[in-house]
């Protein structure tokens, strides 16, 4: 298992329970076994992953065997401190050939495992191996338990003493393969970032962006021709209307002139045809 990410994926494996429902051991405690042949870095990584998961729900890992009773796992401790606590906790447990065994409780932060409600019915988690799987079962004096299998089929983690009356729905889960880490990006100093920002501002002042002033409608030639046609028709209509108005004004003038002529002729004794007046 290449340690390319800080934490391993974790999966719930039931809940803590009373002694008669977890295989006969101490009520509400968790038993974790880590493959002894794993590198120490991976063993520490597994515990850090569990501690991070429990921290997310307000709980902490508190060891319970006599030599380490009450001591809690601190993900922020130094590697040397973590290794020393790991060795002390596994040594305090009854030997399990091929495994590093750990007994612990997961009380709420700020609570003791002896406080009422601090550890009862707590979630149990197991770290998974990318590309592997999680299998689940019950019995054998281990209560409800889960095993983490790596891609080669090797069991690397076991967790048990869960409540047999509260199993998970799935008996097997595939663990997604771990994605390759993204290449590290070069970090720039504040001075370099400031210099880039100043250069960008200077460039923007040197080459201002002018507003566009171009025609963006239909074809310009077609638009101008249509406008000319409209103006020509409008002019013709205006001239026609002006001519009609002049003609309308001319008729009363002619009638008045003819009437005056008829009156003058009458005074002189002339008569005019009725059609004239």
pLDDT digits (tens, 9 = 90+) for 97-114: 899 999 999 999 999 999
Task: Give the closest residue to 42 by CA, choosing from 153, 148, 142, 183.
Answer: 148
| Confidence label for 232 from pLDDT (cuts 50, 70 and 90) | confident
Number of H helices, E strands in the chain: 4, 9
Is residue 216 scored above 80 in pLDDT? no
Which of 177, 59, 72, 49 minimizes the C-alpha distance to 109?
59
Q: What is the pLDDT of residue 248?
A: 67
Q: What does each C-alpha distance from 166 to 60, 201, 237 come to in angstroms?
A: 22, 64, 95
Higher-confidence residue: 271 or 158? 158
Model pLDDT for residues 155-189, shown as the tens digit of each residue:
999 999 999 999 999 999 999 997 544 444 455 66
Q: Angle of helix 40-56 relative to helix 79-92, nearest 10 degrees?
A: 90
Helices (H), 169-271: 190-206, 220-267
Average pLDDT, the chain: 81
Q: Nearest Cα to 81, choosing from 68, 66, 94?
A: 68
Over residues 180-209, the pLDDT tens digits come to 444 444 556 666 666 777 777 666 555 554
Q: Where are the alpha helices (DSSP H) in 116-219?
A: 190-206
> 69 or 5, which is more confident?
69
d(CA 135, CA 174): 9
């Amino acid at each position: 298992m290449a340690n390319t990410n800080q934490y391993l994926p974790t999966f719930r494996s039931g809940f803590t329970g009373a002694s008669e429902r977890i295989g006969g051991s101490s009520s509400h405690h968790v038993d974790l076994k880590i493959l002894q042949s794993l590198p120490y870095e991976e063993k520490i990584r597994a515990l850090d992953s569990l501690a991070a998961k429990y921290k997310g729900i307000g709980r902490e890992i508190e060891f319970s065997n006599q030599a380490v009773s009450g001591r809690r796992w601190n993900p922020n401790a130094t590697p040397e401190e973590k290794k020393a606590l790991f060795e002390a906790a596994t040594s305090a447990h009854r030997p399990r050939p091929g495994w590093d065994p750990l007994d612990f409780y997961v009380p709420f932060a700020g609570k003791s495992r002896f406080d009422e409600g601090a550890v009862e019915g707590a979630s149990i988690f197991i770290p998974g191996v990318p590309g592997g799987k999680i299998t689940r079962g019950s019995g054998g004096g281990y209560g409800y338990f889960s095993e983490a299998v790596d891609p080669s089929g090797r069991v690397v983690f076991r967790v048990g003493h869960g409540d047999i009356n509260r199993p998970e729905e799935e008996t097997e889960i595939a663990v997604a393969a771990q994605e390759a880490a993204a290449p590290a990006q070069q970090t720039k100093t504040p001075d370099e970032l400031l210099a880039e920002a100043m250069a960008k501002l200077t460039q923007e002042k040197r080459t201002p962006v002018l507003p566009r002033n171009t025609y963006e409608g239909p074809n310009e030639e077609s638009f101008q021709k249509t406008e000319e046609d409209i103006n020509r028709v409008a002019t013709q209509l205006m001239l026609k209307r002006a001519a009609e108005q002049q003609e309308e004004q001319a008729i009363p003038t002619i009638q008045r002139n003819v009437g005056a002529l008829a009156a003058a002729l009458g005074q002189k004794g002339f008569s005019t045809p009725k059609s004239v007046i």
